[in-house]
Amino acid sequence: MGRQVRIQVELNSDGIKALLNSEGIEGACRAAADRIRSRAGAHYHVAGPYHPGSRVMFRVYPDDEGRVMEARDKTLTSSVKADRQRG
């Protein structure tokens, strides 16, 4: 067995906030929202970006037919799960 080493990490809150609002993260979030919308189908739409504080966000939302599809078949839920498993 090796020695145990104690490491202390101090986060820079302003730096993390800047990173979470950066163009790169926004692009990655937009790409994820677009993939999810594409898997879910034509009755879903992407809105954003939103900046509700410390990070950028997008929203994938259904129209009326999409609400029925989600209730019946879980189309949006399964699309989100598939994108999370993508890694």
Contacts 24+ apart (CB under 8 A), 52-58: 54/16, 54/17, 54/20, 54/21, 55/17, 55/20, 55/21, 55/25, 56/20, 56/21, 56/25, 56/26, 56/29, 57/29, 58/29, 58/30, 58/32, 58/33
* Backbone phi, psi, residue 46, to 5°: -110, 135
Predicted model pTM: 0.82
pLDDT 10s digits, 1-51: 678 999 999 999 999 999 999 999 999 999 999 999 999 999 999 999 999
Q: What is the pLDDT of residue 1?
A: 65
Segments making up each domain of the chain, as ranges? 13-85
